[in-house]
């Protein structure tokens, strides 16, 4: 058996490959590894995976020489809007080469970014579909943003211009609203952005319900920096977050998956700040409107009760006047009757005296004196009785007048008493009160409305 050297075998393989693969070939592959050295050359590991098992079924090294890479990379990124990086599928034109030391490899000559663009769009659609199948796509949108949202957790880079614009817009709002903002720094672009933002969300979650809203902002940067915001894992974390999330990633035309699943998506950090200010302004306007309506209602009710009290006061004054007038009339009639009776009695007595004058003259002077004395005593008694009767009637009228005045509702209310009604009915005991309906308490100076929550 004749042996050959390794170099001879390598030369045979190289010659065979050079003869068999003289053309260029367009191939589809995924970048598994990518590195560029100081000279500008790019070295890749291309793979193909089984679509069902996701296992690698083919692998090969590839090279892009510096002269080609310096044009191919910016062309790809400007066309697709995504970084030329590991994990993406590419359609490239290659030649097959064999090196006696480095072995079999591909030399990449050209790239079709349209294929990658379509594949990325496909991946984006698949991610959206998966989120919907998982039943989480709308979860964060279903959380209502508080009208008084003022405690804000911010995920951003501390040095990002968008962060500064956001804070400046909030602090210098025309309405003078105060916001509490806390920055949670995160990497907002590159390969580490996805994990960094998810880790930051976990930190904010540790604060429980302290924050009203979470803001993800970046502002500026190229379109290629947005790829992390199409991540399934980041979108899944946003969907299931317990606090409403607002995105202001800073691109006018591009809508990432993070934008789609967030509670609210706005184009710029400044727009997010304006949204929060407007949200608080709307709440203040509602409060002002309700306050105005409440003041109008209170004024109306006070005027209404004032009219009712005035009407009742007028009614009681008229009633008292009528009662006093009636009592005075009764007193005058009683006085007239007494005077008439007295006069008749005295007249009768005088007639008796005149009729018996002759007989009396015959009676001794002592009996006469006694009789006159009796008449004098009787007259004094009558006058005393009349005086006492008139005094009693006058005292009765004064007591009656004072009683009526004391029973005047104004005087009763002045002493600290109150009148309690519900639905226009007077409340005399607690069993009459209906829970949940307005109880109106009338005081000497004003009314109180209350609602009984529990007995």
Cα gap 272→289, rounded to integer Å: 26
Strand 151-156 to 180-185 pairing: parallel
pLDDT at res. 88: 84
Q: Which of 8-22, 176-190, 327-341 has the lowest mean pLDDT?
A: 327-341
> φ and ψ at 435, to 5 degrees?
-65, 135
- Do 140 and 278 belong together in one domain? yes
Asked if 110 and 141 sit in the same domain, the reply is no
**Is 255 in contact with 226 (CB distance < 8 Å)?**
no
Q: Is residue 399 part of a domain?
A: no
- The reported pLDDT for the residue numbered 439 is 83
Q: How far from 180 is each of 155, 177, 196, 434, CA to CA, in Å?
A: 14, 10, 23, 44
Distance from C-alpha of 336 to C-alpha of 330, rounded to nearest angstrom = 10
Do 172 and 279 fall into the same domain? yes
Q: Which of 283, 304, 327 is the last residue of a domain?
A: 283
- Cα–Cα distance measured from residue 315 to residue 268, given in angstroms and rounded to the nearest whole number: 70
Q: Are residues 111 and 143 in the same domain?
A: no
pLDDT attached to residue 241: 93
312 or 285, which is more confident?
285
What pLDDT score does 252 carry? 55
Q: Which of 8, 64, 56, 12 is nearest to 40 (CA)?
A: 64
Please check whether residue 112 lies inside any domain of the structure.
yes
Tokens matching residue 123: 């991946």
In a domain, 337, yes or no: no
Answer yes or no: do 86 and 185 share one domain. Answer: no
The CATH code of the domain that includes 225 is: 3.40.50.280
| Same-domain status, 154 and 278 | yes
Q: Which of 244, 264, 283 is the last residue of a domain?
A: 283
Q: What predicted TM-score, i.e. pTM, was given to this entire model?
A: 0.53
Give yes or no for residue 221 having a pLDDT over 70: no
- Of 116, 142, 157, the residue at which a domain comes to its end is 116
Same domain (yes/no): 143, 239: yes
Q: What is the pLDDT of residue 197?
A: 93
Can you tell me the distance from the alpha carbon of 29 to that of 27, in angstroms, rounded to the nearest whole number?
6
Range of the domain at 39: 6-116
* Number of separate domains in the chain: 2
Per residue in 394-447, pLDDT (tens digit) is 888 888 877 777 677 667 777 777 888 888 788 878 777 787 778 888 887 888
In a domain, 261, yes or no: yes
CATH number at residue 43: 2.40.50.140
Check pLDDT > 90 for residue 43.
yes
pLDDT reading at 84 higher than 70: yes
- Our CA angle for 294, 295, 300, nearest 5°, is 100
Specify the length of the chain in residues: 455
Same domain, 76 and 144: no
């Amino acid at each position: 058996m004749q042996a050959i050297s390794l170099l001879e075998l390598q030369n045979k393989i190289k010659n065979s490959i050079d003869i068999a693969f003289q053309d260029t070939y367009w191939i589809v592959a995924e970048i598994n590894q990518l590195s560029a050295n100081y000279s500008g050359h790019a070295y890749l590991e291309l793979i193909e995976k089984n679509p069902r098992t996701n296992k690698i079924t083919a692998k090969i090294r590839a090279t892009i020489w510096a002269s080609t890479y310096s044009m191919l990379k910016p062309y790809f990124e400007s066309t697709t809007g995504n970084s030329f990086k590991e994990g993406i599928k590419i359609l490239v034109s290659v030649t097959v080469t064999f090196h006696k030391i480095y072995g079999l490899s591909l030399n990449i000559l050209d790239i079709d970014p349209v294929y990658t663009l379509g594949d990325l769009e496909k991946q984006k659609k698949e991610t959206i579909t998966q989120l919907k199948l998982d039943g989480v796509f709308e979860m964060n949108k279903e959380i209502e943003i508080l009208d008084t949202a003022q405690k804000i957790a911010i995920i951003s880079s501390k040095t990002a211009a968008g962060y500064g614009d956001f804070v400046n817009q909030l602090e210098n709002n025309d309405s003078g609203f105060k916001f509490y903002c806390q920055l949670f720094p995160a990497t907002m672009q590159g390969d580490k952005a996805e994990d960094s933002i998810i880790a930051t969300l976990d930190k904010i979650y540790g604060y429980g319900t302290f924050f009203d809203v979470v803001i993800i902002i970046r502002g500026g940067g190229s379109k290629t920096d947005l790829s992390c915001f199409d991540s399934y894992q980041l979108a899944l974390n946003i969907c299931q977050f317990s606090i409403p999330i607002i995105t202001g990633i800073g691109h006018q035309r591009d809508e990432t998956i993070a934008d789609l699943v967030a509670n609210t998506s706005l184009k710029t950090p400044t727009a997010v700040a304006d949204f929060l200010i407007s949200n608080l302004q709307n709440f203040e306007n509602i409060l002002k409107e309700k306050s105005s309506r409440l003041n109008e209602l209170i004024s109306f009710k006070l005027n209404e009760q004032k009219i009712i009290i005035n009407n009742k006061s007028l009614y009681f004054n008229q009633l008292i006047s009528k009662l006093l007038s009636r009592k005075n009339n009764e007193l005058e009639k009683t006085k007239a009757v007494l005077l008439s009776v007295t006069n008749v009695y005295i007249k009768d007595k005088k007639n008796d005296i005149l009729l018996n004058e002759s007989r009396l003259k015959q009676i001794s002077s002592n009996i006469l004196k006694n009789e006159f004395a009796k008449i004098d005593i009787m007259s004094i008694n009558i006058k005393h009785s009349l005086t006492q009767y008139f005094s009693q009637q006058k005292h009765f009228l004064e007591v009656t007048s004072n009683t009526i005045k004391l029973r005047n509702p104004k005087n009763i209310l002045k002493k600290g008493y109150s009148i309690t009604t519900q639905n226009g009915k007077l409340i005399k005991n607690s069993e009459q009160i209906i829970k949940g309906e307005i109880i109106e308490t009338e005081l000497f100076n004003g009314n109180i409305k209350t609602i009984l929550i529990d007995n």
